[in-house]
Structure 1
Amino acid sequence: MGLWQQVTQPIASKTRSWFELKSRNFVSLFLVGVSLSLAIASCSPNSSNSPTTTAGGSSPAAKTGDVQLTLVSYAVTRAAYEKIIPQFQQAWKQEKNQNVTFNQSYGGSGSQTRAVVDGLEADVVALALALDTKKIEKAGLIQPGWETEAPNNAIVHKSVAALVTRKGNPKAIKTWADLAKDGVAVITANPKTSGGARWNFLGLWGSITQAGGDDAKALDYTTKVFKNVPVLPRDAREASDVFFKQGQGDVLINYENEVLLAKQNGQELPYVVPDVNISIDNPVAVVDTNVDKHGNREAAEAFVKFLFTPAAQREFAKVGFRPVDTTVEKEVANQYPPVKTLFTAQDMGGWDDIQQKFFEDGAIFDKIQAGSR
């Protein structure tokens, strides 16, 4: 059976803590042959950012000649990767007669980006937006042109923005325009600190510019919306807590995949997917410096390619992401509301221009904040 054929038998994967990952080289050098294990459960209520981790001594892969990969991703992808990784492990074993084990780290995309730049030795990064991956590139860890090294310009799955309302939708929120109305309290995170909130902001701005309006109209509209934002939580998780736990706001701007995953877990959230919407494109990349250091480039690149197979794409779809494989896209089309006008970050100039135009100090978002107070 070939590497990319569908497989089903799971093999347990290993996760490593941040401390373990930072210390791996030290431990391998001084404690070869010594095995110790430490189970650390670092969990907080209603948070998927704190995975259970296991720390070990010398690497079993190093002893056997097998291969080890470190995957660093953002929190909401974890449920999919827990299904995908065993399938890849089985395929790699059949193709190469070699075991592959995984260290896994999940958290906020921005925090994960900073951790990799600061020394977390990720072999593969799957982050919420290309801007985060580009920060790792600028740190010299990923070579330019990584977008062309994987299928679909390295976008492994997608989502769109959803407007989550209170039960019965008492404020009759149906479109982006409704968020600017008097008396509508909007909850979104701070785009200066949250990658997810940057997508939200682009959804707001693009709802004007991608529907025929100019920047002046977009600025006026977006300023009105942020006048309706009572607080700016640090990240998407905190924004959800403000809306659901603290009961603030009439509408929460959220990822569609989060809403669909909540539904699968028995929590029905009333929501609207606007007809004009941003394609929330989530990239994956091999971290060149680290795979060359670890000698596992072949396996890392194979794992990235595996993520684009129908088997892996179905797992992403099961947790609410819109697949990029056309066959799977057709299979699950009725799972997602249609979007009339779907635009991308590239339609708005690309991430370098977006960052400079909207989110640098003194740029448009700071001016909006000043005007909305």
Structure 2
Amino acid sequence: MTLWHRSLKILQAIAQQRSYRFRLNSFKGFVSLALVGVILSVALAACGGNEANSSTETPNASPVSASKQNVELTLVSFAVTKAAHEAIIPKFVEQWKKEHNQTVTFKQSYGGSGSQTRAVIDGLEADVVHLALAGDTEKIQKAGLIESGWEKEVPNNGIVSKSVAAIITRSGNPKNIKTWADLEKDGVKLITADPKTSGIAKWNFLALWNSVIKTGGDEAKATEFVTKVYKNVPILTKDAREATDAFAKQGQGDVLINYENEVILAQQKGEKVDYVVPEVNISIDNPIAVVDKNVDKHGTREVAEGFVKFLYSPEAQQEFVKLGFRPVDEKLAQTKEVTDKYPKVKTLGIVQDFGGWSEVDKKFFADGGIFDQVQAKIKR
């Protein structure tokens, strides 16, 4: 383009001189200026043609990220995945650099799944969201940021990590808590998060509800049970991390419901934790999704999809297992390491048993739903 730029400058100078001396009654001047205009147009078209050709050299590459040596991704996730992602991200960065000669850096945000969902809808420009439940991802889809069918673009219907609910007790289990039913006893104080802001709190509520339904109870009995249990909750925290801090650091409550992976992680850090994994339980399934509108805006689709794909790799799934998540890969789930590590659950409920997240949110957690009705009956 250097030669064309020089030619254009010369032509522009000629045009300026000609136009300065141009007279309407000068036919010769008119023709000269017209010729300059034609030449100038041809030069501009040639330049434009070269630019068009250069932009089609890599038709499959992301229009922005492919031309960048460094690419930044924003990952928005729920609180308890932080340790796992901090172990996995460096492995992905190393692999991507080796395969694509690009350096990927990450902005990371962790918090209650409900709060994170609202933040993304309100303008937090996440490239990838890893949330506590598919219902939160669906809310982002309904807001127009994620295209429909996101769960079909990756393995396992978009579920990349999973766990079950665990009941954590004080040392020695002085209240003798063994099952969900023990949580309705008088004198038992339970710490759990608020389902209005926390994904785990929704899972906790469903685990309690599921424990009645899966053992032959009806919805009236389930409502009565969860009402008694929530009467024993002195405080509803914002998210799982705050619930853990209230129980472990501030000494509040006799028991805590939390993800099993959180308990395992605490034990790995040297903490002594007494806990029970009830035999009737709920499969806590956590989805991953690319935020289509944002990656297209940022030009990061290729890298974002690469990261999501990497999370399903044996290498990444092994990191999830190390940090207490149950594997989504069935082959890995059958290994001795996994079967020795995790107590067997005899009766495992799934959210589809209750109609999927759209129905669950509407029935239990929407304004005026069963959770609000339960709370209205409780005098704190």
The whole-number CA distance in structure 1 between the counterparts of 2:105 and 2:250 is 41
Closer, same or farther in 2 for the Cα pair 1:347/1:238, shift >3 Å? same
Q: Which residue number corresponds to residue 355 of structure 2?
A: 349
Of 231, 234, 237 in structure 2, the residue corresponding to residue 230 of structure 1 is: 234
Higher helix share: 2
The question of whether the paired residues in 2 share the 8 Å contact of 1:61 and 1:101 is answered with: no
The question of whether the paired residues in 1 share the 8 Å contact of 2:207 and 2:281 is answered with: yes
Unaligned runs of 5+ in 2: 1-63
Q: Which residue number corresponds to residue 50 of structure 1?
A: none
The whole-number CA distance in structure 2 between the counterparts of 1:222 and 1:108 is 22
The whole-number CA distance in structure 2 between the counterparts of 1:194 and 1:136 is 16
1:286-301 alignment, distance < 5 Å: 286-301=290-305
Q: Which residue number corresponds to residue 19 of structure 2?
A: none
Equivalent position amino acid for 1:224 in 2:
K
Aligned residues: 314
The question of whether the paired residues in 2 share the 8 Å contact of 1:188 and 1:252 is answered with: yes
Most deviating of 210-219 and 85-94: 85-94
SS in 2 for 1:323: coil
Equivalent position amino acid for 1:354 in 2:
V
- Cα distance, 1:245 vs. partner? 2.9
Of 326, 332, 335 in structure 1, the residue corresponding to residue 341 of structure 2 is: 335
The whole-number CA distance in structure 2 between the counterparts of 1:221 and 1:112 is 30
Equivalent position amino acid for 2:350 in 1:
T
- Cα distance, 1:63 vs. partner? 7.5
The whole-number CA distance in structure 2 between the counterparts of 1:185 and 1:84 is 37
1:88 corresponds to 2:92: yes
Q: How far does the alpha carbon of each residue in 1:301-333 deviate from its partner, in whole angstroms, 9 at most, with x for none? A: 121111111100011111111111123222322
Of 297, 305, 309 in structure 1, the residue corresponding to residue 309 of structure 2 is: 305
SS in 2 for 1:67: strand
Q: How far does the alpha carbon of each residue in 1:104-139 deviate from its partner, in whole angstroms, 9 at most, with x for none? A: 222232222222112222111111111221121111
Q: Which residue number corresponds to residue 265 of structure 2?
A: 261
Closer, same or farther in 2 for the Cα pair 1:90/1:209, shift >3 Å? same
Equivalent position amino acid for 2:378 in 1:
S
Q: Which residue number corresponds to residue 363 of structure 1?
A: 369
- Cα distance, 1:177 vs. partner? 0.7
The question of whether the paired residues in 1 share the 8 Å contact of 2:112 and 2:197 is answered with: no
Of 137, 140, 149 in structure 2, the residue corresponding to residue 145 of structure 1 is: 149
The question of whether the paired residues in 2 share the 8 Å contact of 1:67 and 1:98 is answered with: yes
The question of whether the paired residues in 2 share the 8 Å contact of 1:61 and 1:100 is answered with: no
Most deviating of 73-82 and 300-309: 73-82
SS in 1 for 2:74: strand
The whole-number CA distance in structure 2 between the counterparts of 1:103 and 1:212 is 47
Closer, same or farther in 2 for the Cα pair 1:65/1:239, shift >3 Å? closer
SS in 2 for 1:157: strand
The question of whether the paired residues in 2 share the 8 Å contact of 1:310 and 1:327 is answered with: no
- Cα distance, 1:64 vs. partner? 4.0
- Cα distance, 1:80 vs. partner? 1.5
Unaligned runs of 5+ in 1: 1-59
The whole-number CA distance in structure 1 between the counterparts of 2:147 and 2:201 is 27
1:3-14 alignment, distance < 5 Å: none
RMSD over aligned CA atoms reads 1.8
The question of whether the paired residues in 2 share the 8 Å contact of 1:309 and 1:325 is answered with: no
Q: How far does the alpha carbon of each residue in 1:231-250 deviate from its partner, in whole angstroms, 9 at most, with x for none? A: 22233233223322332222
Of 129, 133, 138 in structure 1, the residue corresponding to residue 137 of structure 2 is: 133
1:271 corresponds to 2:275: yes
The whole-number CA distance in structure 2 between the counterparts of 1:195 and 1:81 is 18
The whole-number CA distance in structure 2 between the counterparts of 1:248 and 1:129 is 27
Of 75, 78, 83 in structure 1, the residue corresponding to residue 79 of structure 2 is: 75
- Cα distance, 1:165 vs. partner? 0.5
Q: Which residue number corresponds to residue 43 of structure 1?
A: none
- Cα distance, 1:66 vs. partner? 4.4
The whole-number CA distance in structure 1 between the counterparts of 2:199 and 2:68 is 40
The question of whether the paired residues in 1 share the 8 Å contact of 2:96 and 2:104 is answered with: yes
TM-score normalized by the length of structure 1: 0.80
The whole-number CA distance in structure 2 between the counterparts of 1:90 and 1:230 is 46
The whole-number CA distance in structure 1 between the counterparts of 2:118 and 2:242 is 19
1:242 corresponds to 2:251: no
The whole-number CA distance in structure 1 between the counterparts of 2:107 and 2:192 is 32
The question of whether the paired residues in 2 share the 8 Å contact of 1:162 and 1:256 is answered with: yes
Equivalent position amino acid for 1:342 in 2:
L
- Cα distance, 1:61 vs. partner? 6.9
Closer, same or farther in 2 for the Cα pair 1:85/1:233, shift >3 Å? closer
SS in 1 for 2:193: coil
Most deviating of 233-242 and 150-159: 233-242
Which of the pair has more CA radius of gyration? 2
1:148-167 alignment, distance < 5 Å: 148-167=152-171
The whole-number CA distance in structure 2 between the counterparts of 1:248 and 1:127 is 27
The whole-number CA distance in structure 2 between the counterparts of 1:182 and 1:100 is 53
The question of whether the paired residues in 1 share the 8 Å contact of 2:65 and 2:299 is answered with: no
Of 209, 213, 220 in structure 2, the residue corresponding to residue 216 of structure 1 is: 220
1:168 corresponds to 2:137: no
Equivalent position amino acid for 1:371 in 2:
K
